[in-house]
Amino acid sequence: MKQTYDLIVVGAGMAGVAAANKCAAQGWSVAIVDSLPYGGTCALRGCDPKKILRRGAEVIDSARLMHGKGIDSDGLAISWADLMEHKHGFTDPVPQSMEDGLADNGVTTLHGRARFTGPRTLEIDGVAHDADRFLVATGAQPRPLDFPGHEHLIDSSDFLDLAQLPGHILFVGGGFISFEFAHIVARAGTSAVVVDRGERPLKSFDPDLVELMVERSTQVGIDLRRRTSIVEVQPSDDGYRVTIERDGEQETIHTDLVVHGAGRVAELADLGLDAAGVEWGERGIQVAAHLQSTTNPAVWAAGDSADTAGMPLTPVAVSEAKVAASNMLKQTTTAPDYAGIPTAVFTIPELTRVGMLEAEARDHGIDLAVRHSDTSDWYSSYRVGETTSAAKILIDRSTDQIVGAHLFGPEYGELVNTLGLAIKLGLTTRQLKSATAAYPTVGSDLGSML
Ligand SMILES: Cc1cc2nc3c(=O)[nH]c(=O)nc-3n(C[C@H](O)[C@H](O)[C@H](O)COP(=O)(O)OP(=O)(O)OC[C@H]3O[C@@H](n4cnc5c(N)ncnc54)[C@H](O)[C@@H]3O)c2cc1C
Ligand SMILES: NC(=O)c1ccc[n+]([C@@H]2O[C@H](COP(=O)([O-])OP(=O)(O)OC[C@H]3O[C@@H](n4cnc5c(N)ncnc54)[C@H](O)[C@@H]3O)[C@@H](O)[C@H]2O)c1
């Protein structure tokens, strides 16, 4: 007899695994399916491998910043193959350990490409599976591009698996992926060109700090082309000829590799959502605030494949999955709380944000105190030889609470977490300043930033 599960989860990434484990722990019969090895984008093809490769670049950059200050950085180099092996040491065991963990929690683990054939039926490689509920956690995929030669681009997953690093790389798009990867390859001696169609890259970050980040990127040889579009990509004898256009002027750039960093869309196109009566778009499945489909009550969504107010980031995916699981289990309609979730672009140094942008805060009519500090001559930057760093903290004068924080500097990816906590808990700057940080740490700079 065919089994009807309480829940089938589609996608074994951060969101899917969190929800499957939570529901199984409450005694539900749960199955999870993925067409790729378990672990999803973050652990296998995103955050974690990326930051391991970045470590090589950090070491080179740190040594160069200290050149002439007691360190001889001449001759330092990245061995890409060894760094890649270091990455594999982390990523290779993930699928099995994740699958073992799920099985230990009583979750049935399935493999294959899933597709809805009706409102409550999912087919996996030709076999039908029924459930009372489905959680779609299928993540995102590179946005389809339409310029001639787009098929020659590699995507972020291919990049994070490159056996060798070529001498020249052109990145299409000036977002998270292109800047993070360009900062890695620039320290490995590869020339990087970033082509972005907008005037300002990374639009969801503070414009002043983005300009500083671009300045620092230029210093390490990254060539940003703004307001520039790709006309076509053509293979050549020794790589690719990329024709770009700005203000009606065309230019051809020769490069070894062209990488897609032009955005991602929810991975839903082949999921048969129309057969299930589920409304969806490129931002994801249309859900109510509590993450249930607006058109099929049996279907829920979380993470990059859900159209929510949360950004497509790992902490958002996990938090949404936990809320969706809890709502399914308890038949409640709680909405996720996105307040105080920080984000970082892992350039070197990193660019971070939590809460509102200055323009957003002003649009909300907040009586704003802006604490904008050039921190490049502060002790924490001086110590490591960093020449470019800054902080911008936005405070609501009427409550003394932080409504936004924007940082660019060494180790500021850690510091932003404290500011996120302050926003989440509604701490006043007076309360924050009353806490004593270990000295000297970047945390001890917080008082001066406020
Ligand atoms: C290069 C890169 C770097 C990133 N770095 C960061 C970072 O530093 N910090 C951060 O917070 N976020 C980062 N992100 C974003 C982060 O990875 C995602 O927000 C997060 O992984 C989303 O988790 P998810 O569970 O929603 O989806 P995913 O982790 O993408 O999991 C979805 C799973 O569903 C499977 N699937 C899809 N369709 C089907 C189907 N029809 N049948 C069966 N299985 C299916 C996929 O194979 C996949 O395993 C990065 C993303 C990329 C691409
Ligand atoms: N550190 C992190 O948290 C991290 C790292 C990587 C990715 N991510 C997630 O993955 C998502 C996708 O990353 P991404 O970097 O691909 O996208 P993105 O949305 O960050 O940036 C895409 C950029 O490409 C530009 N663009 C789009 N089409 C173009 C074209 N044809 N020619 C030139 N420019 C073009 C856009 O204007 C935009 O500036 C991010 O939004 C983020 O949520 C997060």
Alpha helices (H) in 72-199, listed in sequence order:
80-91, 94-104, 156-159, 176-187
pLDDT band at 322 (very low <50, low <70, confident <90, very high): very high
Q: What is the number of domains present in the chain?
A: 3
Distance between Cα 201 and ligand 1 center (Å): 22
Q: Which residue has the tokens 């695994």?
A: 17
Q: What is the pLDDT of residue 302?
A: 98
Q: How would you classify the pairing of strands 229-236 and 239-246?
A: antiparallel
- The answer on 113 and 175 residing in a single domain is no
Last residue of a domain, one of 236, 262, 288: 262
pLDDT at 367: 97
Q: Is the CB of 175 under 6 A from ligand 2?
A: yes
Has residue 411 got a pLDDT over 80? yes
241 and 258 in contact (C-beta within 8 Å)?
no
Is residue 76, in this structure, part of any structural domain at all?
A: no
Cα 336 from Cα 324, distance rounded (Å):
8
Per-residue pLDDT tens digits for 327-341: 999 999 999 999 999
Which of 412, 358, 331, 413 lies closest to 132, judged by CA?
Answer: 331
Looking at the chain, the whole-number percentage of residues with pLDDT higher than 90 is: 99
> What global pTM score does this model have?
0.98
Which two structure tokens, joined as six digits, stand for 323?
């809320």
Residue at 68 is within a domain: no
Residue 352 is part of a domain; what is its CATH number? Answer: 3.30.390.30
Retrieve residue 224's tokens: 């940003």
What pLDDT score was predicted for residue 380? 97
Average pLDDT, the chain: 97
30: domain range?
Answer: 4-50+85-141+265-330
Instruction: Quote the ipTM score.
Output: 0.99
Residues with C-beta less than 6 Å from any ligand 1 atom:
10-16, 33-36, 40-42, 46-47, 50, 113-114, 137-139, 156, 177, 267, 271, 303-305, 312-315, 317, 346
Q: How many Å lie between the centroid of ligand 2 and the Cα of residue 284?
A: 16
326 in any annotated domain? yes
Considering only CA atoms, which of 264, 240, 255 is closest in space to residue 149? 240
Which residue, judged by its Cα, is nearest atom 43 of ligand 1?
Answer: 34
- The DSSP secondary-structure symbol of 263 reads -
Q: Ligand 2 centroid to 199 CA: how many Å? A: 14
190 and 216 both lie in a single domain: yes
Is residue 289 located within the same domain as residue 229? no
Cα–Cα distance between 146 and 262 in angstroms, integer? 12
269-302 per-position pLDDT tens digit: 999 999 999 999 999 999 999 999 999 999 999 9
Domain contains 45: yes
Average pLDDT for 369-382: 98
Report strand pairing: 401-409 vs 30-34: unpaired
- Phi/psi-derived region of residue 378, left when phi > 0, alpha when psi is between -120 and 50, beta in every other case: beta
CATH classification at residue 313: 3.50.50.60
| In a shared domain, residues 168 and 246 | yes
CA–CA gap between residue 25 and residue 184 (Å, rounded): 41
Of 137, 126, 117, the residue nearest 21 (C-alpha): 137
* Band of residue 3 on the pLDDT scale cut at 50, 70, 90: confident
Residue at 89 is within a domain: yes
**Which token pair is 292?**
């249930």
Average pLDDT over residues 242-261: 98
Instruction: Give pLDDT, residue 308.
Output: 98
State the residue for tokens 């639009």.
Answer: 203
Q: Is ligand 2 within 6 A of the CB of residue 231?
A: no
**What pLDDT, on the 0 to 100 scale, is given for residue 43?**
98
The pLDDT-based confidence of 171 (bands split at 50, 70, 90) is very high
- Paired with 345 in beta bridges are 351
Q: Residue 1: which pLDDT band, with cuts at 50, 70 and 90?
A: low
